[in-house]
Chain A
């Protein structure tokens, strides 16, 4: 198998004295969509943030295209092609929609995602382009957070619950957008609580518990074995597509 695009080996991350990630290891290959599932509080968001160095792992290693990136400042990791769609929107509330997007695009890497192409993907943001970020609805803020990552043209998208707060139709459109990014060569690492959404777009699923990977399989593996969702996610069987 080829060299992974992103590789975590023996990562241990702490918040103060709280040990969150325990010897976490996994690989992400170019062109993959990998979903990370797990109950709240198991370290899914911390995994994405450790890749970005906020905070950096205390021990272990994160490699991007074979080069170590753990310990680098976050802006340097982003400049190497790692894009982030944070949970909870994290947009600038006092800037307008267009200012939020243009600020993200200011130091973007070359690529196909322009401000206009983003408006094409999210027409609602074009309608609201002069509104302040803080005046947007929760779902509109989520779209803006995704848009800000798109215009940076990263190689890898780290997406933290991109479907949260979105209406069912927009969730489907975000799913289609992720597939489109993937078809254009993008690699996606996705943290999700929406199990049906994650299973519908991911090539591979990792399930976390207590800061470690406890299961790895395909969406079909999970659909075909109700015991997996019961044991690791505390829920009933998943309906087949």
Chain B
């Protein structure tokens, strides 16, 4: 059973076709990168999988159940979390408070509240995973950008995801921060299915098992890292010469 299956997904905005008949099949535990030129439809596909946008046609299935039309919170409850290109954080709260809010969402509606110790253990574990435990009391507005990107990952992990969508997680990061983020992503549980949109090819080729290439809303290529590295069309349209 596929962790994520997108079947003939199309999305139009008036006359503009953002996605056209896109098929995507991601196995449980797979790490799949989605790359492509700017405006290829990568983030739109993410938003459709995560329920932020509805496709014009086509279906999405998560772990074998169709989820087309499901709301983001319904998908989140089923173990699908995402990060965004631009941080979506509470700037006036601390690092800890941000993660606490996200973790607390699990217990909303429960007749018995979770023990404080268990909640704190969960928050501490997440912050340790993203190397922010030492900054737990820092207000987000006062954090460097790289730290905010790490917190964005922490909030996604607070959803206890089985499927994690990462939208350009290293964009705007310094080289050292990128290296640190890559290590964090590589260290995520191997049974967690990861989809990543990313322009840093060192990150893509270090993390991904397979790579799908979108161009002008259509699938240009789909294969192993080595197949994509050797694909002349991909080089011509997307990579150019290495910097």
A: which residues have CB within 8 A of B?
38-41, 87-88, 124, 128, 131, 135-140, 142-143, 161, 164-172, 175, 193-197, 200, 229, 233-235
For B85, B173, B174, B242, the residue with the greatest tally of chain A CB atoms inside 10 Å of its CB is B174
Asked if A170 and B38 sit within 8 Å, CB to CB, the answer is yes
Q: Residue B174 contacts which of A87, A171, A233 (CB distance < 8 angstroms)?
A: A233
A171 to B171, CA, bound (A): 13
Asked if A169 and B238 sit within 8 Å, CB to CB, the answer is yes
- If A41-B144, A135-B13 touch, whether A165 touches B176 (CB-CB below 8 Å) is no
Q: Residue B38 contacts which of A88, A124, A135, A197 (CB distance < 8 angstroms)?
A: A124
Q: A138-B85, A171-B199 are known contacts; what are 20 more A-B pairs with Cβ within 8 Å? A: A39-B144, A39-B177, A40-B145, A40-B174, A137-B39, A137-B44, A138-B43, A138-B171, A139-B199, A164-B171, A165-B171, A166-B38, A168-B201, A169-B37, A169-B238, A169-B239, A170-B37, A170-B38, A172-B243, A196-B243
A101 smallest CB distance to B (angstroms): 16
Asked if B241 and A139 sit within 8 Å, CB to CB, the answer is no
A234 to B144, CA, bound (A): 15
Q: Which residues of A contact B144 (CB under 8 A)?
A: 39-41
Asked if B38 and A167 sit within 8 Å, CB to CB, the answer is yes
Q: Residue A167 contacts which of B44, B85, B179, B199 (CB distance < 8 angstroms)?
A: B199
In the complex, B168 has a CB within 8 A of chain A: yes
B148 smallest CB distance to A (angstroms): 9
Residues 140 to 197 of chain B near chain A (Cβ within 8 Å): 144-146, 168, 171-177, 179
Q: Which residues of A contact B110 (CB under 8 A)?
A: none
Asked if B38 and A172 sit within 8 Å, CB to CB, the answer is no
Q: Which residues of A contact B42 (CB under 8 A)?
A: 137
Residue of A nearest to B235 (CB): A169
Residue of B nearest to A199 (CB): B243
A-B contact pairs, 30 of them (CB 8 A): A39-B144, A39-B146, A40-B145, A40-B172, A41-B145, A88-B86, A124-B38, A131-B13, A137-B43, A138-B86, A138-B171, A139-B38, A140-B39, A167-B38, A167-B199, A168-B199, A168-B239, A168-B242, A169-B239, A170-B38, A171-B199, A171-B243, A172-B240, A172-B241, A193-B172, A194-B243, A195-B175, A197-B243, A234-B175, A235-B176
A48 smallest CB distance to B (angstroms): 15
10 closest A-B pairs by beta carbon, nearest first, are A139-B38, A41-B144, A234-B176, A169-B240, A40-B144, A40-B145, A196-B243, A235-B175, A137-B39, A172-B240
In the complex, B51 has a CB within 8 A of chain A: no
A167 to B42, CA, bound (A): 12
Q: Which residues of B contact A136 (CB under 8 A)?
A: 39
B137 smallest CB distance to A (angstroms): 17
Asked if B85 and A165 sit within 8 Å, CB to CB, the answer is yes
In the complex, B36 has a CB within 8 A of chain A: yes
Q: Which residues of A contact B174 (CB under 8 A)?
A: 38-40, 193, 233-235
Q: Which residues of B contact A171 (CB under 8 A)?
A: 199, 243
Q: Residue A233 contacts which of B86, B145, B176, B241 (CB distance < 8 angstroms)?
A: B176
Asked if A165 and B168 sit within 8 Å, CB to CB, the answer is yes
A195 to B145, CA, bound (A): 17
A170 to B85, CA, bound (A): 18
Residues 229 to 243 of chain B near chain A (Cβ within 8 Å): 237-243
A171 smallest CB distance to B (angstroms): 7
Q: Which residues of A contact B176 (CB under 8 A)?
A: 39, 233-235
Q: Which residues of A contact B146 (CB under 8 A)?
A: 39-40
Q: Which residues of B contact A138 (CB under 8 A)?
A: 38, 43, 85-86, 168, 171
Asked if B38 and A165 sit within 8 Å, CB to CB, the answer is yes
Asked if B199 and A40 sit within 8 Å, CB to CB, the answer is no
A137 to B171, CA, bound (A): 14
Q: Which residues of B contact A165 (CB under 8 A)?
A: 38, 85, 168, 171-172, 199
Q: Which residues of A contact B175 (CB under 8 A)?
A: 193, 195, 229, 233-235
